[in-house]
């Protein structure tokens, strides 16, 4: 392999530090002895290391660019060579630290350090049932919430008798311990949270008897939740900082109240519209009439009497299934103005029990209308769709 450091890493002489670093990562992964199968992989990997050591150091790079010897004695095992030669076991002589390779390839890994005992709490979700009228017109409801709150005895510190946490003697307050393992590449250092303090860097010798050192306890409380008009099932009310208090008495998360609207015995909801079914006698449908219909406002105690019902006019000859729309009697729009409509579907009821006198009257009506025998048109032979349409329209 060429001794030109730029050629070894495959970069131009004016390459930036970031470009040099990326090129080194790519080449190191390509020629690493654990990955490459070529017999000279170890030597290539050594030269890639040397090239990166020089080009990543501004002072050594400056000496190299001026034609000097940045290593102070040349390559491979010469004094000042930096990495030294390979030993008989295949590892680097001179105690090469494998973490240097990892840091260069994947970025410098800083120590995590001790983690704070005070952390933000989790968000909480509760469900609240509403009647249809409450969902339509809005309401303020008391909500019982069971969440973690700051411990009243230690005020979140987790310590008994106003004491303070003390530095962990196992990790000396670092929150983590380092283990060193030997490999053919040298020493491999790994860090993990301290098992004595669980990564906090401190321990609580005398925990609070109320919260056992957590700094928080569970408690029930009541919140008054204002629910706007026009909500529906699945809508959520967001209450900031009303959720679970965090460990160590940390700031509380948020509380979300998910709304569930219960079915109504008369009305059904279709978006912003209300729908209902009104059953009327056959005679009323034939002759026409008017009905008083209770509105959704009738479910509210504070509604004006005039708003509790409306008069519905049924014209003569109304057929079963006719829908009468009453504007502005539906659900108030959640994000907007006005209300939907109230749809009243009429179902004409046929009498099932008639006395002899009523039957005589019905027969007289049928004879007067020529309806004593039902008539039906039967299509003879095969007719197409267009033939049937022409016949229906008298064409």
Q: How many CB atoms lie within 10 A of CB 151?
A: 23
Please name the residues in contact with 190: beta carbons below 8 A apart, sequence gap of 6 or more: 178, 179, 181
Rounded CA gap, 204 and 269, in Å?
57
Q: Is 208 flagged in the annotation as binding?
A: yes
Q: At how many degrees (to 10) do helices 58-65 and 41-55 cross?
A: 100
pLDDT of residue 106: 46
* Three-state secondary-structure class, residue 100: helix
Give the pLDDT of the chain (395 residues) as one tens digit per residue.
447 888 888 888 888 888 888 888 888 778 877 667 788 877 888 888 888 888 888 888 888 888 777 766 433 333 333 333 333 333 333 334 444 454 444 444 445 678 888 999 999 999 999 999 999 999 999 999 999 999 999 999 999 988 999 999 999 999 998 887 776 666 777 888 999 999 999 999 999 999 999 999 999 999 999 999 999 999 999 999 999 999 999 999 999 999 999 999 999 999 999 999 999 999 999 999 999 999 999 999 888 988 999 999 999 999 999 999 999 999 999 988 899 999 999 999 999 899 999 999 999 998 998 888 766 555 555 555 456 545 545 54
Quick one: which H or E segment has residue 280? strand 273-281
In angstroms, the Cα distances linking 238 to 140, 227, 249, 255, 365 are 14, 11, 22, 6, 64
Q: Is 159 flagged in the annotation as binding?
A: no
In angstroms, the Cα distances linking 226 to 134, 139, 142, 296 are 11, 6, 9, 20
DSSP-derived pairing of the beta strands 309-314 and 342-349: unpaired
pLDDT in tens, 18-43: 888 888 888 877 887 766 778 887 78
Which structure tokens are listed for 141?
């409801």
Which structure tokens are listed for 378?
């039967």
pTM above 0.85, yes or no: no
pLDDT of residue 387: 61
Q: Is 197 flagged in the annotation as binding?
A: yes
At 198, give phi and psi (nearest 5°).
60, 30
Which structure tokens are listed for 12?
């131009």
Please name the residues in contact with 206: beta carbons below 8 A apart, sequence gap of 6 or more: 159, 160, 161, 163
pLDDT in tens, 358-377: 999 999 998 998 888 766 55
Spatial contact of 118 and 248, defined as CB atoms under 8 Å apart: yes
What sign for the dihedral angle of Cα 327, 331, 333, 337? Answer: positive
């Amino acid at each position: 392999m060429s001794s030109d450091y730029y050629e070894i890493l495959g970069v131009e002489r004016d390459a930036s530090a970031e470009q040099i670093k990326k090129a080194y990562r790519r080449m190191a992964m390509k020629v690493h002895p654990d990955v490459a199968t070529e017999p000279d992989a170890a030597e290539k990997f050594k030269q890639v290391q040397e090239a990166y050591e020089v080009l990543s150091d501004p002072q050594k790079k400056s000496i190299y660019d001026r034609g000097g010897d940045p290593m102070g004695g040349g390559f491979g095992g010469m004094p000042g060579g930096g990495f030294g030669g390979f030993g008989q076991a295949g590892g680097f002589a001179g105690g090469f630290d494998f973490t240097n390779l990892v840091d260069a390839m994947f970025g410098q890994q800083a120590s995590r350090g001790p983690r704070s005992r005070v952390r933000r709490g989790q968000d909480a979700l509760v469900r609240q049932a509403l009647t249809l009228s409450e969902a339509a017109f809005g309401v303020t409801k008391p909500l019982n919430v069971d969440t973690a709150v700051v411990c009243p005895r230690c005020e979140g510190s987790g310590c008994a008798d106003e004491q303070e946490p003390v530095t962990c003697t196992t990790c000396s307050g670092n929150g983590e311990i380092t283990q060193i393992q030997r490999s053919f590449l040298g020493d491999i250092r790994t860090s993990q949270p301290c098992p004595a303090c669980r990564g906090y860097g401190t321990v609580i010798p005398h925990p609070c008897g109320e919260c056992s050192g957590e700094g928080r306890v569970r408690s029930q409380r009541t919140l008054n939740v204002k629910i706007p008009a026009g909500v529906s099932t699945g809508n959520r009310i967001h209450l900031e900082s009303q959720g679970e208090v965090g460990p160590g008495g940390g700031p509380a998360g948020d509380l979300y109240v998910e709304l569930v609207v219960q079915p109504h015995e008369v009305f059904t909801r279709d978006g912003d519209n209300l729908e209902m079914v009104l059953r009327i006698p056959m005679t009323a449908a034939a002759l026409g009439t008017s009905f008083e219909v209770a509105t959704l406002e009738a479910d509210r105690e504070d509604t004006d009497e005039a708003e509790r019902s409306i008069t519905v006019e049924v014209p003569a000859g109304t057929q079963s299934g006719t829908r009468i729309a009453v504007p502005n009697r539906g659900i108030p729009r959640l994000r907007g103005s006005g209300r939907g409509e109230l749809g009243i579907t009429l179902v004409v009821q046929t009498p099932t029990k008639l006395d002899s006198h009523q039957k005589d009257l019905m027969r007289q009506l049928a004879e007067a209308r020529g309806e004593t025998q039902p008539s039906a048109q039967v299509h003879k032979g095969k007719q197409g769709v267009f033939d049937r349409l022409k016949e229906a329209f008298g064409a």
